[in-house]
Amino acid sequence: MNETRITGKTYDVQLLRRLGQYLRPYKSYLVWSIVLTLVIAAISPLLPLLVEYTLDNFILKNDQTGLTWMAIGMLFLLVLQTAVRYYHTLLTNTMGQSVIKDLRVDTFNHITNLRLKYFDHTPIGRLITRTVSDLETIADIFSEGLIQIIGDILQLIVIISVMFYSDWRLTLIVLIPAPFMVIATYFFKEAMKSAFQDVRHWVANLNTFLQEHISGVSVIQYFSREKQEMDKFMAINAEHRNANIRSNWYFSIFFPVIEVIMAIALGLLVWYGSKSILAERISPGVVVAFIMYINMIFRPIRELVDKFNILQMGMVGAERVFSVLDTSEQTPNDGVLQPEQIKGAIAFDRVWFAYNDEDWVLKDISFEVQPGETLALVGATGAGKSSTINILSRFYEIGRGQIRLDGEDIRNYELHYLRRNIATVLQDVFLFSNSIARNISLDNPNISREQIVAAAKDVGAHDFIMRLPGGYDYEVKERGATLSAGQAQLISFIRALVHNPKILVLDEATASVDTETELLIQKAIDTLMHNRTSIVIAHRLSTIQKADKIIVLDHGEIKEIGNHQELLRLNGYYKRLYDLQFHTT
């Protein structure tokens, strides 16, 4: 549950510059937002000025006609301010959502191209947090943060300038409490920075916990661990609550302090303003206008703090998102080879592979498979069978040696071309929440419905699919929960067949099915393997007896190579595995 903390700058110019790159397609939104920001700042002191003029020239002089016209003018000004603020809010929110739309696409695209090693040590819940809630905080930078802060600062500058122009002495009196507000704001900002980082930290942990435990709810129920897991959840949830309470506690202190400072400024205004009116140095209208100015000064200052906090959260979110985008855990794709057709000759030449450093999983592995041949890999759990096929598709990179396809190093092939020519059927079939047809085609526009049906018939799955409501349009629930293990496995075989690969990999593809379905699949396998180089991993030796070549692995090393009869005659590892399964002596 320990998440990497972000300890960079609160306001990082480099981060803002990178975010600015995503603004380029929306320059018109940015320009108009800035224009409207300037308009809002320019018209902000007009209403107090009109009130001051109306009070001094019409109300005190009992001019009903002038008062009426001034009221109409103030109403028009309010309508104008409302319209400008409406379009300003609409533009900034549209711009923010457009930016995070593009950024979220880039983030998702980057994540889906990361090699599997990255996911071995990165919780999925944390990546979901990055792609959803952290990105939402970035949108707030544009809709409620940066531009709004600039607007509030401009508004403060304009209002204070007008106040000094009206009466500089009264302005100085009113601004006496301002330094205390600046000091309070600074301490509040620093405290909130830490609080927001804690909030984001526990949000990510909460998402990670929920993703793992909801996905694995069946295990929790099988072993009656509901109470224990609930206790863990309550502990994480309590930390999340406490982090939010801490941030709210700072608000609960800061806002009353601001109100007290604002009340002091108002008291100073009434005291000094009244004396000035009695001395006939200023008019009552100026004092009334200054009362309005106080609200217009202190309200933006109070909101500035909130917006600075929004900006802080956005910057923390941006740093977290860009930390994912800057992750270099991607399989190098420097290859250019994309021949019209590959034959399927595979050669492992003294290959060594480790998931971590030099903790070797495969040691000095060498073998060859000719086009159209079937190679079977057998051995105990942890022998290195799955690792062998993972490095063939370059999901992981080897440490030493070379893997060749048709005589060329697999790293010389364009990565996506290489993987398109290798179809893998796993024991644990993953199906998306979509129709059966789309789970088979994976939305490949080059695969027609006719090809899907033909492949299903070849595999022997057409009849069971047609018995489902909607047939090929039947909506498969999450991870294929509404299908049996055998049915899901058959769909994965159709998926492999319809993509027409030159190399077929079966990773214990019949381990989770019943005997009747296995017989059905065995017939489909013969069709699937025709004219294809095939690599089969199987614990059931009965499924690989027809293989052209069988390799026995033990602790990452090749112990025996040969066909079924040859290995039995050796009376070694394979013979012992065979005897264990078939109870022979």
For residues 281 and 366, state if they share a domain. Answer: no
> Which 3 state secondary structure label does DSSP give 554?
strand
Q: Which residue type sits at 86?
A: Y
For residues 145 and 242, state if they share a domain. Answer: yes
Has residue 251 been placed in a domain? yes
Whole-angstrom CA distances from 244 to 2, 7, 9, 111, 231 are 19, 19, 22, 29, 20
The range of the structural domain enclosing residue 557 comes to 342-421+545-585
Quick one: pLDDT at residue 218? 67
**Closest to 297 measured CA to CA, from 507, 484, 156:** 156
Of 325, 350, 385, the last residue of a domain is 325
Q: Which residue type sits at 158?
A: V
> Which 3 state secondary structure label does DSSP give 281?
coil
For residues 379 and 233, state if they share a domain. Answer: no
The alpha carbon of residue 231 and the mean position of all alpha carbons in its chain are separated, in whole angstroms, by 28
H, E, C per residue of 571-582: CCHHHHHHHHHH
**How far, in Å, CA of 292 to CA of 60, rounded?**
19
**Closest to 297 measured CA to CA, from 187, 158, 149, 146:** 158
Has residue 262 been placed in a domain? yes
Whole-angstrom CA distances from 25 to 22, 99, 104, 117, 144 are 7, 9, 15, 34, 20
Q: Which residue type sits at 493?
A: F
For residues 77 and 224, state if they share a domain. Answer: yes
For residues 246 and 297, state if they share a domain. Answer: yes
For residues 408 and 285, state if they share a domain. Answer: no
Quick one: pLDDT at residue 79? 94
Quick one: pLDDT at residue 59? 86
Number of domains into which the chain is organized: 2
Of 293, 325, 357, the last residue of a domain is 325
Q: CB of 458 within 8 A of CB of 509?
A: no
For residues 123 and 182, state if they share a domain. Answer: yes
**How far, in Å, CA of 433 to CA of 153, rounded?**
49
Look up the pTM and report it.
0.71
Which residues touch 218 (CB under 8 Å, ≥6 apart)?
Answer: none
Quick one: pLDDT at residue 41? 86
Has residue 375 been placed in a domain? yes
Has residue 6 been placed in a domain? no
Q: What is the CATH number of the domain that holds 30?
A: 1.20.1560.10
Q: What is the CATH number of the domain that holds 558?
A: 3.40.50.300
Quick one: pLDDT at residue 409? 93
For residues 45 and 162, state if they share a domain. Answer: yes
Residue that has been written with the tokens 């939010």 in this structure:
244
**Closest to 486 measured CA to CA, from 432, 427, 538, 537:** 427
Quick one: pLDDT at residue 310? 76
At what angle are helices 449-459 and 485-498 packed, to 10 degrees?
Answer: 120
Give φ, ψ of 347 to 5 degrees.
Answer: -140, 125
Has residue 241 been placed in a domain? yes
For residues 130 and 266, state if they share a domain. Answer: yes
For residues 60 and 121, state if they share a domain. Answer: yes
**How far, in Å, CA of 443 to CA of 445, rounded?**
6
pLDDT in 10s for each residue of the chain, 585 residues: 444 444 445 456 788 888 888 888 888 888 898 899 889 888 888 889 888 888 888 888 888 888 889 899 999 999 999 999 899 888 888 888 888 889 888 888 888 888 887 887 777 777 887 888 788 888 777 777 677 778 888 888 888 898 898 888 888 988 888 888 778 877 777 777 777 778 877 887 887 888 778 777 767 776 777 888 888 889 888 888 888 888 788 778 877 888 888 888 889 888 988 888 888 888 888 888 888 888 888 777 777 767 777 777 788 788 888 888 888 777 888 888 999 888 889 999 999 998 887 788 899 999 999 998 989 998 887 888 888 888 998 988 888 999 999 999 999 999 989 988 988 888 777 888 888 898 888 888 888 899 889 888 887 888 888 988 888 898 887 666 778 777 888 888 888 888 888 898 888 766 555 656 666 667 767 777 777 898 988 777 777 888 889 999 988 899 999 988 888 888 888 888 888 877 654
Has residue 1 been placed in a domain? no
> Which 3 state secondary structure label does DSSP give 96?
helix
Of 294, 325, 356, the last residue of a domain is 325
| DSSP assignment letter at 118 | H
Give φ, ψ of 115 to 5 degrees.
Answer: -75, 160
Quick one: pLDDT at residue 515? 59
**How far, in Å, CA of 288 to CA of 59, rounded?**
13
Our CA dihedral for 13, 17, 18, 24, rounded to 10 degrees, sits at 160
Quick one: pLDDT at residue 512? 56
By DSSP bridging, strand 400-405 and strand 346-354 are antiparallel
Cα–Cα–Cα angle for 58, 60, 64, rounded to 5 degrees: 40
Quick one: pLDDT at residue 561? 92
For residues 192 and 260, state if they share a domain. Answer: yes
For residues 408 and 305, state if they share a domain. Answer: no
Has residue 531 been placed in a domain? no
Quick one: pLDDT at residue 4? 44
Quick one: pLDDT at residue 5? 45
Quick one: pLDDT at residue 352? 93
Has residue 496 been placed in a domain? no
By DSSP bridging, strand 533-537 and strand 374-378 are parallel
Quick one: pLDDT at residue 475? 87
**How far, in Å, CA of 533 to CA of 331, rounded?**
24
